[in-house]
Amino acid sequence: MCFVVLVSGQNAEAQKIESDSVYTPIKVKEHSPHKATIYSAILPGLGQIYNRKYWKLPILYGGIGVTLYAIGWNTTQYNDYKNGYVDFSKFYDYRYQPEGGTLTEPTSKRYEKFLNYDLSLKNKNTDTWFKTQLKNRKDKYKRDRDLSYIILVGVYVLNIIDATVDAHFTNFNINDDLSMTVQPKMNYSPVSGSTLGLSCRINF
């Protein structure tokens, strides 16, 4: 007596065909990772809709919205401090020009919104400190703005990767029903003749 163990698995493409049995292939509509990638590249979130992962849309667009807000905020602050720094630099050069200099007092004073001391009291150390503060703030908001753009690109790329990976996983038919079937099986060999055994089939 002999024992034969047969293990069969199902996927989205076809079923295995054994010598003593005939199975009808199950045709499943292929879920295209290529389409999911293209859709997400054209419009973020469209690939997730194609994959029917609608719950990811609020997360995706929430991240995009926060990043766009950060870009707008940092850009506004950067422009304000840049303008203030440019105007105060001109005022600083006028105020501390050498005796007999020809510079005239600039009329644009966009730094006044950031001024936190009495500018009428001429003090070069204080003025230098304020000028440095304007420059540091300008550089900081520029870095934050550039970083926000990088994050936005990262969110866009992750959106494409997520849609592509999800589409690949969709093609796998994962069945929770794990079953085992045991039945008699007759085998024939020219050497040993007919033998009786058991066929054990595991479906997953």
Nearest CA among 166, 169, 160, 149 for reference residue 69: 149
Could you tell me the pLDDT band of residue 12, with boundaries at 50, 70 and 90? very low
Q: What is the pLDDT of residue 14?
A: 42
pLDDT, average across residues 62-69: 96
Neighbours of 153 (CB within 10 A): 11
What contacts 24+ positions apart, CB below 8 Å, involve 52-61? Answer: 53/166, 56/162, 60/155, 60/159
Which phi and psi angles does 11 have, rounded to 5°? -140, -175
- Cα 174 to Cα 120: distance, rounded to the nearest angstrom: 77
Could you tell me the pLDDT band of residue 184, with boundaries at 50, 70 and 90? low
Question: How is residue 33 written in tokens?
Answer: 């990772």
- Cα 23 to Cα 11: distance, rounded to the nearest angstrom: 14
pLDDT, average across residues 46-70: 95
- Cα 50 to Cα 42: distance, rounded to the nearest angstrom: 13
pLDDT above 70 as % of the chain: 69
Which phi and psi angles does 183 have, rounded to 5°? -150, 155
Given a cut of 80, whether residue 29 has pLDDT beyond it is no
The residues spanned by each domain of the chain are 65-171
- Of residues 120 and 69, the one with the higher pLDDT is 69
Q: What is the pLDDT of residue 16?
A: 46
Could you tell me the pLDDT band of residue 31, with boundaries at 50, 70 and 90? confident
pLDDT in tens, 84-95: 999 999 999 999
- Mention every residue, 6+ apart, whose C-beta is less than 8 A from residue 168: 33
pLDDT in tens, 128-173: 999 999 999 999 999 999 999 999 999 999 999 999 999 988 866 5
pLDDT, average across residues 35-47: 95
pLDDT above 90 as % of the chain: 63
Q: What is the pLDDT of residue 27?
A: 54
- Of residues 188 and 38, the one with the higher pLDDT is 38
Given a cut of 50, whether residue 18 has pLDDT beyond it is no
Mean pLDDT of the chain: 82
- Cα 104 to Cα 90: distance, rounded to the nearest angstrom: 9
- Cα 37 to Cα 119: distance, rounded to the nearest angstrom: 58
Tell whether the torsion through CA atoms of 33, 31, 9 and 21 is positive or negative. Answer: negative
